[in-house]
Chains A and B, each alone.
Chain A
Amino acid sequence: MDKTQLLLAVSVVLFAAGLLGVIVRRNVLVMLMFMELTLNGVNLSLVTFTQQAGTTAGAVLVFLVFVVAAAEVAIAIPIVLLLARAKGTLDLAGYRDLKG
């Protein structure tokens, strides 16, 4: 297993851990943080491929992912704050009435 494969394996494990966390944890804020972890896992693979190919395209893509993550957090946090204020809890089980 060489260095590239090691880094790709780490990125795979980070992505799977993030996905697992989004599904199993009950706290909304913690779920948001696991979404960031999945994005970080993907970023690691992008950076690895960028460095291997020697082009800037992957680095630009990583930068765009940063911006998307920032925009996602900027919208998600106010929604979480309003939900927590309306329902008095951060537990997903408290939001059952959102189900259509």
Chain B
Amino acid sequence: MMETALTFVFAVGALAAAAAMLIARHPMRVALALVVAMLCLAGLYAALGVHVIAVFQVLIYVGAIMVFMVYVIMLLDVRDSSFTGRYSALLAPALVGALTLAAVLFFIVVDGQPGRSAAPPTTVFGVQAFSTAFLNEYWLHFELVSVLLVAAVVAAIAVVKLGSRRRG
């Protein structure tokens, strides 16, 4: 009962934060609304019993990615022409398109089979099960991911070097 109530609260919180992101003018407010949305999602994951992902959500998304984003917003002057006019000329068609997409997917979800959630598996998804599966079955993916991260770091350095060489 408690978990159902928490799920509802966090779901409403995530939706409200997404709406605030669309409306907010200052990029810092958008970033803070996104942090709220991510924390609400972490709460949803925890209410579902998938604690590993909830911890990773807070650590990686909120702790690393969003802090990086906030830092960059503070570095840049954000009060330019995109501050006075928030929306591009595509506002009306994009609104129609996104609402159509959301409506279609929503009806698919609601009309679909209720699934197996009638008897909810209340197994708590612990670190042990996750890491055993991760390093036994998915070790190749783990290694590939580390290669991807190294490639990303090298690419970031290359971009910065190229930019500084262009400027002379």
Greatest chain B CB density within 10 A among A48, A50, A63, A89 is at A63
- What chain B residues lie within 8 Å of A53 (beta carbons)? 116
Q: B115 near A13 (CB under 8 angstroms)? A: no
- In the bound complex, how far is the Cα of B77 from the Cα of A81, in angstroms? 11
> Interface residue count for B (Cβ, 8 Å)?
86
Q: A92 near B82 (CB under 8 angstroms)? A: yes
Which 6 A-B residue pairings sit nearest by Cβ, starting from the closest? A71-B152, A16-B102, A20-B98, A56-B133, A91-B82, A23-B94
B140 CB, nearest partner CB in chain A, Å = 11
- What chain B residues lie within 8 Å of A4 (beta carbons)? 114-115, 117
Q: Which single residue of chain A is at the shortest CB-CB distance from B94?
A: A23
Q: A94 near B60 (CB under 8 angstroms)? A: no
Chain B 1-14 near chain A by CB (<8 Å), digits 1 or 0: 00010011001001
Question: Which B residues contact A (CB, under 8 angstroms)?
Answer: 4, 7-8, 11, 14-15, 18-19, 21-22, 27, 30-31, 34, 37-38, 41, 44-45, 48-50, 52-53, 56-57, 60-61, 64-65, 68-69, 72-73, 75-76, 78, 80-83, 85-88, 90-91, 94-95, 97-99, 101-102, 105-106, 109-110, 112, 114-118, 120-121, 123, 125, 129-130, 133-134, 137-138, 141, 145, 148-149, 151-153, 155-156, 159-160, 163
